[in-house]
Structure 1
Amino acid sequence: MGKDHVNITTIGHVDHGKTTLSAAITKYLAGKGLAKFKDYGEIDRAPEERERKITINATHIPFETEDRTIETHDKKTIKILGRDYSLIDCPGHADYIKNMITGISQTDGAILVVAATDGVMKQTKEHLRLANRTGIKYLVVFINKVDAVEDPSIIKLVEMEIRDYLTKYGFNGEKTPIIEGSAKCALDEKNPEIGEKKIKELLNVIDEYIPNPIRDISKPFLMSIEDKFTKSGRGSVVTGRPERGVLKTNDKVEIVGLPQGKNVLPIIETKVKEIQSNHQKKDEIIPGDDIAVLLGIDSLEEITRGQVLAALGSIKPHTKFEATAYILTKEEGGRHTPFGGSERESKKTKSGKEYRPQFYFRTADVTGSISSPKNPQTGESVEMVMPGDTVDFIVELIAPLALENNDNFVVREGGKLVAEGKVTKIIK
């Protein structure tokens, strides 16, 4: 029987060392034959990433941990089973938040990286909020760059601050494991007390604290499309991570939402010709692994990121729905001003312009308008929606997306995360 598979992601503010930590993990495990070493340049693959030393796209890094035995406080021994992991190195830069949203939405747990030199920063908070909104329940914290801080009391203050924000954003601030170390020291093979030994400690904690996920295989297959490419002479390939269900070779499937090119229909029926995971052919696949699916579609023009690959008839495209959402405050990095709520002005901001922010679902981002906001407790219309309010409203998207009741979404405007919400009722 193979090892359990777990997907984890690094999250945190730009330049706090997420990619350096990912590289350090692979270097440590490569020495044990449990991973292939990937240096910083291999993880940050795009030229712009290397030039600016920031991560733009979420990068997937496979590794595994080994079985080990630990002794409890009452002298009993427990065997901890090693697991197969896919580590997603997420971008922290605000400009590339949609790629980071994709990374977070695909994971079972997270490593929050916080630089000891800075403490909690703007994107630290934003990533914690997104992690909570996308359903991540377990994370561990790595306080990085401790070699750059001379006063140990500073690190303790940073830890206290982190625990406060973990609690604020719905995590267990008291019990969440926090490891202090230096990813760069581990990568450069210097000062093992804060380098290599801390990477080992981090991996042990991940094995122990983040539980094995329960995969939903009872519902119809669903996967959000992350990327696409052509396999010469054979068809089109889509990649992503299955959200639920089982997919088999020769299954009939549909691509749903965001019609592209000459295709005006939001549903395309096709057939699964081949499935690959970790560069190996598979007859069937369940949620958890990154996969590539060869489809019987000749042209890539009809396929785009943000569509979903789904079992026949299992999910429909929609443009209009009722939702409930929390509007972030200025202090949380959200809006500074309210937007209008009367029936006549319901789609407009205070300045009179129609309020049309970006809505993010899975790997999709689509412009939509907000109308008819109401108080969720009383059902009464709201004249002005203020930052800090929780409000019900109607959303109308400019393009059809594959949607279901209870789907989570986030809203961004002008480079800011301004709201987080949930679909409560599909209208059309």
Structure 2
Amino acid sequence: MRVIGTAGHVDHGKSTLVHALTGIDPDRLKEEKARGMTIDLGFAWIELPVPGSDDATESAGIVDVPGHIDFIKNMLAGVGGIDAAVLVIAADEGVMPQTREHLAILDLLAVPAAVVALTKTDLIDDPEWLELVELDVAELLASTHLRDAPIVPVSAPTGAGLDHLRHTLAGVLADLPPRRNRSRPRLPVDRIFTLSGFGTIVTGTLLDGALAVGDAVEILPGRKPARIRSLQTHKRQVETAVPGSRLAINLTGVATDDLRRGDVVARPGTLEPTVLVDARFRLLPDATRPLKHNQLVDFFAGAAEISAHVRLLGTEVLEPGAEAFVQLRLDRPAVVAAGDRFILRQPS
């Protein structure tokens, strides 16, 4: 299974596009509907054509993220486990500040693939303007690992380009290698709620290993024991889930008050929480200020957000565009694995 995440500037039509593609409104909060703006993560799924087949389809999960700068932390909680991104750029506005920041995040996290959806093309009468926007987007992508991402003009209200976008997404996902499976189930929790008659539900993307109904699990970093009562993916009950699945897990033995976004569902004894992380770090060239030794930062990994102090190894100051080995001392334990990508943000 594959998971797609949206990205892009506020009001460029991410949620509207998801709704047009899937028939599912990802904005689930009353405040989101009242303000007409995504605030927290939204979820949907899409049936994509199987390349080379006339009528077969395959399901993919969708994580819809907020575009407003005030909710960037929620965006970061949603993109850690995705296979591909749909970078949404409105044709009438073109590249905007959050377009750049979201693309930088996708690049830093090494999201494997992307498609650019050029939305609101129904508002553009001048084809030359559309060509200029596409050239601007291509220039923006050129300095990232997503430089070859296809650009697909679409209109959610008219439906123009949506089938092309579906087929493009299907092709991009089909070209990806299988997810690496180290047989150590790991699911960062991005949503927690209670359902009447069922109890505690957590959702997230299964990054590794398999989970099955009846499995004993522990919730890290607090090592809270629990058991899987049921598993659901795309509103369908399943007995076993494989890496890459978007899951809703019904847990017994643990209450919602004992959980937080960023916790990790794992098999008992397979993962070890830590407060020290050794890493290689790159400060973006357009960072507004340098990073100093022992500076306080916000650490984002999986769906977790943790305050940390960064120790620069071999230097006292890291200038924008430079790289260094660092050691992060976290204020509370995190669950990470070798090779994981992360984001640091300097508190404002």
* TM value normalised by structure 2: 0.91
Matched residues in 1 for 2:214 and 2:26: separation? 34
Cα distance change on mapping 1:152 and 1:382 into 2, 3 Å? same
Q: Give the aligned partner of residue 304 of structure 1.
A: 260
Are 2:166 and 1:203 equivalent residues in the alignment?
A: yes
Matched residue SS, 1:301? helix
Matched residues in 2 for 1:235 and 1:149: separation? 49
Are 2:323 and 1:390 equivalent residues in the alignment?
A: yes
Runs of 4+ off more than 6 Å:
none
Residue 365 of structure 1 and its aligned partner are, at CA, apart by 0.1
Matched residues in 2 for 1:390 and 1:150: separation? 45
Q: Give the aligned partner of residue 180 of structure 1.
A: 153
Residue type at the aligned position of 2:299: F
Matched residues in 2 for 1:369 and 1:162: separation? 36
User: What do the CA deviations read for 1:69-103 (whole angstroms, capped 9, x no partner)?
Assistant: 6xxxxxxxx76853212222221111112222232
Q: Give the aligned partner of residue 178 of structure 2.
A: 214
Q: Give the aligned partner of residue 363 of structure 1.
A: 303
Aligned-pair identity in percent equals: 29
In structure 2, which of residues 305, 325, 340 is the aligned counterpart of residue 407 of structure 1?
Answer: 340
Residue 232 of structure 1 and its aligned partner are, at CA, apart by 5.3
Matched residues in 2 for 1:273 and 1:312: separation? 16
Residue 250 of structure 1 and its aligned partner are, at CA, apart by 2.5
Matched residues in 2 for 1:393 and 1:324: separation? 6
Higher RCO, Cα 8 Å, sep 6+: 2
Preserved contact between residue 6 and residue 213 of structure 1 (Cα < 8 Å): no
Residue 123 of structure 1 and its aligned partner are, at CA, apart by 1.3
Q: Give the aligned partner of residue 43 of structure 2.
A: 60
Residue type at the aligned position of 2:247: I
Are 2:230 and 1:274 equivalent residues in the alignment?
A: yes
Cα distance change on mapping 1:407 and 1:119 into 2, 3 Å? same
Preserved contact between residue 142 and residue 180 of structure 1 (Cα < 8 Å): yes
Residue type at the aligned position of 2:226: T
In structure 2, which of residues 113, 118, 126 is the aligned counterpart of residue 151 of structure 1?
Answer: 126
Matched residue SS, 2:101? helix
* TM value normalised by structure 1: 0.75
Cα distance change on mapping 1:47 and 1:9 into 2, 3 Å? same
Preserved contact between residue 325 and residue 390 of structure 1 (Cα < 8 Å): yes
Matched residues in 2 for 1:62 and 1:302: separation? 29
Which stretch shows the higher mean deviation, 277-286 or 241-250? Answer: 277-286
RMSD value, Cα = 2.3
Q: Give the aligned partner of residue 100 of structure 1.
A: 75
Matched residue SS, 1:65? strand
Matched residues in 2 for 1:299 and 1:171: separation? 41
Matched residues in 1 for 2:199 and 2:29: separation? 26
Q: How does 1:80-159 map to 2 (within 5 A)?
A: 81-159=56-134
Matched residues in 2 for 1:282 and 1:81: separation? 20
Matched residues in 2 for 1:274 and 1:310: separation? 15
Matched residues in 2 for 1:248 and 1:50: separation? 35
In structure 2, which of residues 179, 203, 224 is the aligned counterpart of residue 239 of structure 1?
Answer: 203
User: What do the CA deviations read for 1:274-320 (whole angstroms, capped 9, x no partner)?
Assistant: 32333443322112222222333243222111110111211111112
Preserved contact between residue 8 and residue 88 of structure 1 (Cα < 8 Å): yes
Cα distance change on mapping 1:65 and 1:272 into 2, 3 Å? closer
User: What do the CA deviations read for 1:30-79 (whole angstroms, capped 9, x no partner)?
Assistant: xxxxxxx23xxx4322233223322112211123134676xxxxxxxx76
Residue 213 of structure 1 and its aligned partner are, at CA, apart by 5.3
In structure 2, which of residues 120, 135, 144 is the aligned counterpart of residue 160 of structure 1?
Answer: 135
Larger Rg belongs to: 1
Stretches of structure 1 that go unaligned for 5 or more consecutive residues are 27-36, 70-77, 187-194, 258-265, 341-345, 348-354, 375-380, 416-428
Residue 398 of structure 1 and its aligned partner are, at CA, apart by 0.8
Q: Give the aligned partner of residue 189 of structure 1.
A: none
Q: Give the aligned partner of residue 337 of structure 1.
A: 289
Matched residue SS, 1:106? coil
Residue 221 of structure 1 and its aligned partner are, at CA, apart by 0.8
Preserved contact between residue 225 and residue 308 of structure 1 (Cα < 8 Å): yes
Q: How does 1:2-81 map to 2 (within 5 A)?
A: 5-26=1-22, 37-38=23-24, 42-66=25-49, 81=56
Cα distance change on mapping 1:239 and 1:210 into 2, 3 Å? closer
Residue type at the aligned position of 2:39: I
Cα distance change on mapping 1:203 and 1:254 into 2, 3 Å? same
Are 2:206 and 1:254 equivalent residues in the alignment?
A: no
